[in-house]
Amino acid sequence: MSQPVNHDVEVTDQAGYWELVRDNANFRRLWIGNVISLLGDWFNTIALYTLVFRLTGSPFALGAVFIFKMLPWALASPIAGVLVDRYDRRRLMIISDLVRAVVVLGFLLIDEAGDVYLVYFLIAAQVMLGSVFVPAKSASIPNITTPRELLTANALMAASWSVMLALGAAIGGFATEWFGEQAVFIIDSATYLVSAYFIYRAVIPQDTEAPRGPVLRTAMREMVDGWRFLRAVPRVRRIALTKMTWGIAGAALVYALTLLGDEVAPQALAAGIGILFAARGLGTGIGPIVARAVFKDQERWPFLIGLFIAFSGVCYLLVSIIPWTLATVIILVILAHSTSGANWVMSTVLLQKRTEDRYRGRVFATEWLLVMLADTVSILAASVLLETGVLDLRGSFQAFALLQIFCGVLWLVLVVPKERRAAVTG
């Protein structure tokens, strides 16, 4: 098997998007499979939000959907990182897709409020499998791209996630209104099968150490090794905190969008949620493309990360103030998530370049652990505050927008000076 490429070099130019997809067959197959399953996932997500809110009418029950999409992922991530670093990542992704294709069909059994508990069980199973797929995919990208392709590959993956969010949310919202949730769940199951086929056809080299005994027996030792690596390498640890810093308040703001969907489209809940999530997807798609074209000096990226976190908060603060007309909310959501999308790509590229391949799966799994824990706490707080009436929807947007701005400022004050000193000392 060929060895992964060394990306610890600077390149003066970047591969084009079409060049990458046309000439790199292995990346193309991974990308196509991922795109198709993402489309089904966003169909599924809008249908689940609509189903739970329709059956219960409870902000907390809706918040629990978000939490069960995150907390099991957080708990599974450390073991997932060990799997990704010790076993064939391609096979892990294929197995994850095939099992998820079966799991999501379980949503067909839910048609009354008493069945809602089953929603949470199935979501937990689905996302625990995803907790293996996502770090395996992220850790594989540097292994199938050259240094001049790496940033383009990550930008394309992020933009594709965003486009699929926009298309999947918008089309999924209307599909749920027209055809019902069950048709959407069947479509999602089929997309996992298609994804598995494309990844099966890809060749993904990997610098893998031999497994040292059963996974459960060695998982703690391997996790501790990964955490020690993060503690010993501050330049990796700092960037691994980027997405978590955004999620401390950003997750609650995204959750609030589902409730805002009922305000902007009260007669068509699924369509309203779908439109707002499509705006989010459009923003996260624009951000990586602009960042790749404009912000080429990677030494400035840590400063931009803090600035962009704060800017997202400013946009949502405006959402809390303005009249809720669909057009104005859409514009602000697009702007807020264009910077979050740029942050996602910049932090991912920096983390990939700064991390040795043999630790990369555990580092990305730890990053996801931190992200999901932050998101869980954020959404739990917002849903409880809304359910108990401590905050109304406008107050929720305002409180968490201010917290988002504070997180961005804190990043600029605490992280950026350390990054600048590290750049000087090498």
191 assigned to some structural domain: yes
**Binning pLDDT at 50, 70 and 90, where does residue 299 land?**
confident
8 assigned to some structural domain: no
pLDDT at position 114 over 90: no
Alpha helices in 209-325 (DSSP H): 215-232, 234-240, 242-264, 269-294, 301-321
What is the model's pLDDT at position 370?
A: 82
46 assigned to some structural domain: yes
Distance between CA atoms of residues 258 and 253, nearest Å: 9
Check the CA dihedral 399-395-326-123 and report its sign: positive
138 assigned to some structural domain: yes
**Cβ within 8 Å of residue 159, ≥6 positions away:** 285, 288, 289, 341
Q: Residue 281: what are its φ and ψ, rounded to 5°?
A: -65, -40
- Residue 75 and residue 360 in contact, taking contact as beta carbons nearer than 8 Å: no
What is the model's pLDDT at position 314?
A: 96
Pick 411 or 4 by higher pLDDT. Answer: 411
Percent of the chain with pLDDT over 90: 26
Q: How far is CA 59 from CA 69, 104, 112, in A?
A: 16, 23, 17
Mean pLDDT of the chain: 83
336 assigned to some structural domain: yes
Distance between CA atoms of residues 293 and 14, nearest Å: 10
pTM metric for this prediction: 0.72
- Tell me how crowded residue 82 is: count the other CB atoms within 10 A of its CB: 24
Percent of the chain with pLDDT over 70: 90
**Cβ within 8 Å of residue 99, ≥6 positions away:** 129
Distance between CA atoms of residues 330 and 281, nearest Å: 11
Amino acid at 93: M
- Quick: pLDDT tens for 340-353: 888 888 888 888 88
Domain carrying residue 349: 23-208+216-425
Count, residues in the chain: 426
**Binning pLDDT at 50, 70 and 90, where does residue 369 land?**
confident
2 assigned to some structural domain: no
- Quick: pLDDT tens for 141-168: 888 888 888 888 887 887 787 777 777 7
CA-wise closest residue to 330 among 161, 103, 166, 197: 166
What is the model's pLDDT at position 157?
A: 84
9 assigned to some structural domain: no
* CATH number of residue 389's parent domain: 1.20.1250.20
Distance between CA atoms of residues 334 and 368, nearest Å: 24
Q: How far is CA 156 from CA 221, 337, 338, 349, 408, in A?
A: 35, 16, 14, 12, 25
Distance between CA atoms of residues 151 and 166, nearest Å: 22
Domain count, the chain: 1
User: How large is the average pLDDT for residues 81-108?
Assistant: 89
4 assigned to some structural domain: no
CA-wise closest residue to 26 among 285, 247, 197, 199: 199
At which residue do the structure tokens 């708990």 appear? Answer: 75
